[in-house]
Amino acid sequence: SPSITTTPSSASTLDEPEEEEEDELGHAETYAEYMPMKLKIGQRHPDPVVETSSLSSVNPPDVWYRLSISEEVIDRGCLSALQLEAITYAAQQHETFLPSGDRAAYLIGDGAGVGKGRTIAGVIYENYLLGRKRSLWFSVSNDLKYDAERDLRDIGAKNIQVHSLNKVRNFHQALKGVIFATYSSLIGESQSGGKYKTRFQQLLHWCGEDFDGVIVYDECHKAKNVCPIGSSKPTKTGLAVLELQNKLPKARVVYASATGASEPRNMAYMNRLGIWGHKTPFREFGNFIQAVERRGVGAMEIVAMDMKLRGMYIARQLSFTGVTFKIEEVPLTQQYINMYNKSVRLWVSARERFQQAANLMDAEQRMKKSMWGQFWSAHQRFFKYLCIASKVRRVVQLAREEVQNGKCVVIGLQSTGEARTLEALEEGGGELNDFVSTAKGVLQSLIEKHFPAPDRQKLYKVKKQKKKPRKHGGLSGTSSDESQSEDSDRESVKDSDESDAVEHAQMMKKELLEKLEDLAEDLPPNTLDELIDELGGPENVAEMTGRKGRVVSNDDGSITYESRSELDVPVEILNLTEKQRFMDGEKNIAIISEAASSGISLQADRRVKNQRRRVHMTLELPWSADRAIQQFGRTHRSNQVTAPEYVFLISELAGEQRFASIVAKRLESLGALTHGDRRATETRDLSRFNFDNKYGRNALEIVMKSIVKLDSPLVSPPAHFKGDFFKGKIQSGLIGVGLINMEDRSGTMSLDKDYNNMGKFLNRILGMEVQQQNALFQYFSDTLAAVILEAKKSGRYDMGILDLGNGDEKVKKVDCRKFLTPGYTTSGHVELYTVSVERGMSWEEATHAWADQSGPDDGFYASLQNEFLETNLQIIERSVQSCSGNACCFRRRGNCKKASVGLQCEVGLRCRTYYVLCGSVLSVWNELEEVLTPVSGTNVKVQIVRLRTEDGQRIVGESTVKLRASERDEGVNSRLSRCARRGRYSPVIEQLHPQSLCHAPST
């Protein structure tokens, strides 16, 4: 028999909880190539299109609807196969009604370039051919009306007229066609007289009570915040969108946006999807949100897959093949660091002066709150401008190189700084000596407008108004005079004190402005003006922003402010003209701001002259993923010769990663819900900057408490930091940015009430000196890594979708229990699979392999090392620390905890058992919660797994906890059967063609 060699281990083992072997599961591929599965009409889309792999594992319902669009239109390729598929499923979904009696809606989640506009036009055209001649189309800008007309014309529906809501004077004239409106006009009032005062009322009247035509909410993320977070109120737009749907229950609603569900909260206006409400698992939208947010990103992935399964959702996007993403980290010069540190010291001084002046003036609480709100808002903008300025030189260098290499460059900015330029222009009487520093303008404006040092004359007027004439009763003249004299003395002393206070406050204000002037020489100029100047001036750079003028340097070296308007070009279409110059190759560099990022296409289109590859550089990551996707979609669209390159420039400043963090968080969530797979955005190399999650907040709490000695640190401070990390500079830096408070008398430190707010922390530490913020951020990052490691060890880390059955793994289906869950659309299923995953080989296979080998070292080796190791030195240290008269130095290692509660222990075994619940999981969410909560707790994540069995079957679903057999049978099986007896679900013994997650094609 074969000999077995053992490898001894000198380490002892710890009695720790067993770690779930999630690392053994491979991460699923992110995207799969997309082709319509059940509809076989139309021509291929001109560009490769993909779908997230989790969504691709879901079969949409069978198609039974027949389109009325003519075969001629289809054969000409006016609508591609995947656009026709979306139109068909939308029309099919519109034939069903929710239990509430409202008609079901459809959500188009296609990304930029798939042709959402033509798909929407196709839905309108289909209904027009069936006699529904009136439609409403809502979007973000009136300019997009021309795109709507073009889309209708392109698909052969040029006879359908498009009326702009703000131009319609007489609704009787617009008897049929499309009324195109912006979301803001939906809440506007009518300028013309008449019976209906608001645009909303006019639209309702035009539609009529029994309206069954199409309502399109294009770019529907603009209707977000119906269900706001915290103390904020719902937006009027969001409420109007909801109200319109409630007033027109028979309308055929289409939601369309690539970013429509970047946060599940923003789905509040999508009440026609039937996920919550009457006869659903979630009575109110709030119940749905609570359930999804409690169970993590995995739950959002379940929602997206379930929506596609039910035939109410589709989400494709252009393949990112050929698109490159990279993060360019910009090193800081010593000169820049010196300027930055000077700015930090000025802001710390400004904060102290603002505090002193507010106390001197005895400012009211309301005034103080307003003052500090303005102060910290300006603080954030100031350092944001400094961060951007650090990258200008590098972006100019990169842009020149790319143009020389035969490419063209698009630079994305969020803000233009125009307001500060106009203020400087006003101060200078319409003349400028140099480029305006936006950063300087921010601080100057704060001091001049919000420093608590009132003008003496204004103060005197206010005091005079407050004084009221006295009424003197039956007092003798003498006593009255004495009383007045005493009051007068007191008032003169008070006036004198107040006058001194005002003078002192005004002196502090003057000193601050003088310090700012001293620093101003070093502060960077307006980024947009500097970029245009460095890249060859307006004649070489196409500017697509919302500002009306710019500062330019002339040939003689002078600096002037000039209007952007041109003699032959109206201001309204200036951005479109600049876009055309870029697309024609007259200019090879374009700078776009948020104002231009909606509706403008800058890709290397086959139909335009400029077909150079686009290099899209982002100096300033947008505040939200909605805006980020909008900007990135400008250069990556359909019908392009080459895919773009994306370059994200991030400086070494630690706090600046705040902006990357926000976008990474929103993109991750967006990938999860809008495209059903959160790793869709992780591949873009941004997720490593994502701190704003539960792990990040936990790490931040540990960091802040350890610095004020309220908690012990989880990790050691950075090795390169000189001095005591937990005293001195780090503490004073955090006091300077208001995250730690210090009592004046006692000197005791306390944490700010919002100390564990991630956004506030990452914003505020920008106001610390460069070395301090980098050291603090490194300490935070190290703590975060330790927190995540601990979460992985305890099996609570969210790993995204995981693969089983890849490589050498063998997945065998052991058992399958099926339950029919009839819904309002189609019969879905919930299926509970028991699968066995075998890693490695059987004893027979191993002995056969050994018999074929004859080398001297061939044989069987068994490692005696355990997963949880402890060196002898660690044992001694632990024992010494914990030993006392009452403490025992010995530890007993008993049986596995799983075995003690009746579960099978499989740690170290070749075969592992997994339980996967798949199908329409949302339908049985409440039953699932009842079963899982007592076993795994309320906040345990939902883990999505994807399997491929030995016979080629693909299974995607939720990996449930490993319950005892009796619990599992009673829990899942009995509860579902009980629901079936109530008429909601029916158990199925055998079904040949189930509409289920579990039977995706095996190709």
Whether residue 737 is predicted with pLDDT greater than 50 in this model: the reply is yes
- pLDDT higher than threshold 80 for residue 529: yes
Pick 48 or 178 by higher pLDDT.
Answer: 178
For residue 486, report the phi and psi dihedrals to the nearest 5 degrees: -65, -45
pLDDT reading at 13 higher than 50: no
Q: Residue 52 pLDDT > 80, yes or no?
A: no
* Residue 232 predicted with pLDDT over 50: yes
Say which DSSP state 20 is in.
Answer: P
Q: In this predicted model, which residue has the larger pLDDT, 70 or 863?
A: 70
- In this predicted structure, what is the pLDDT of residue 487? 57
Q: Please tell me the predicted confidence (pLDDT) of residue 827.
A: 54
pLDDT category at 446 given cuts 50, 70, 90 is very high
- What pLDDT does 352 receive? 92
Lowest mean pLDDT across 53-67, 142-156, 584-598, 649-663: 649-663
Averaged over 120-141, what is the pLDDT?
Answer: 94
Per DSSP (E only), the strands in 632-701 are 645-651
Contacts of 686 (CB under 8 A, 6+ apart): 327, 648, 660, 663, 664, 667
pTM: 0.72
pLDDT at 318: 76
Q: What is the pLDDT of residues 541-571, one digit of tens each?
A: 998 887 877 888 777 767 777 777 776 776 6
Using alpha carbons, select from 749, 664, 652, 768 the residue that is nearest to residue 704: 749
As a whole number, mean pLDDT of residues 998-1003 equals 34
Lowest mean pLDDT across 468-472, 585-589, 912-916, 924-928? 468-472
Decide if pLDDT at 878 tops 80. no
Contact indicator for 127, 115 with CB cutoff of 8 Å:
no
> Of 130-139, 892-901, 944-953, which one has max mean pLDDT?
130-139
> CA-to-CA distance for 120 and 152, rounded, in angstroms?
9
Rounded Cα–Cα distance for residues 171 and 173 (Å): 5
Average pLDDT over residues 521-525: 90
Among the listed ranges 256-265, 443-452, 641-650, 700-709, which one has the minimum average pLDDT value?
Answer: 256-265
Predicted confidence at residue 63, as pLDDT, reads 95
Residues 6 or more apart from 918 whose CB is under 8 A from it?
830, 831, 833, 955, 956, 957, 958, 996, 997, 998
Number of C-beta neighbours around residue 126 at 10 A: 23
Q: Report the pLDDT value the prediction gives residue 877, as an integer from 0 to 100.
A: 61
pLDDT tier for residue 769 given thresholds of 50, 70 and 90: very high
Amino acid at 117: G
The most confident of the ranges 30-34, 674-678, 814-818 is 814-818
Q: Which range is least confidently modeled, 328-332, 392-396, 704-708, 923-927?
A: 923-927
Cβ-count burial of 685 within 10 angstroms (0-12 exposed, 13-18 middle, 19+ buried)? Answer: middle
Q: Is residue 669 over pLDDT 50?
A: no
Provide the CB-side half-sphere exposure for 601 (13 A, CA): 17
Average model confidence (pLDDT) across the chain = 77
Q: Which residue has the higher pLDDT, 9 or 439?
A: 439
Mean pLDDT is lowest, of 244-248, 523-527, 973-977, for: 973-977
Please indicate whether residue 598 or residue 157 has the higher confidence score (pLDDT). Answer: 157
Task: State which of 256-265, 559-568, 907-916 shows the largest mean pLDDT.
Answer: 907-916
Cα–Cα distance, 96 to 91 (Å, whole number): 9
pLDDT score recorded for residue 192: 59
Instruction: Decide if pLDDT at 666 tops 50.
Output: no
Confidence tier at 785 by pLDDT (50, 70, 90): confident
Q: What does the pLDDT look like over 311-330, one tens digit per residue?
A: 999 988 777 677 776 778 88
Q: What are 823-862's pLDDT values in tens digits?
A: 555 556 788 888 888 877 778 888 888 888 878 888 888 7
Stretch 663-681: mean pLDDT, rounded? Answer: 48
Distance (Å, whole) CA 981 – CA 433? 83
- DSSP assigned state of 970: I
Q: In this structure, are residues 576 and 613 in contact, taking their beta carbons and an 8 Å threshold?
A: no
Mean pLDDT, rounded, for 121-130: 97
**Domains (range + CATH), the chain:** 38-262+312-318 (3.40.50.300), 324-449+523-652 (3.40.50.300), 653-798 (no CATH), 802-999 (no CATH)
Residue 131 has pLDDT above 80, yes or no: yes
pLDDT band per the 50, 70, 90 thresholds, residue 1001: very low
The 8-class DSSP code of residue 901 comes to T
Q: Output 247 or 167, whichever has higher pLDDT.
A: 247
Amino acid (one-letter) located at 840:
G
Q: What is the mean predicted confidence (pLDDT) over 613-628?
A: 73
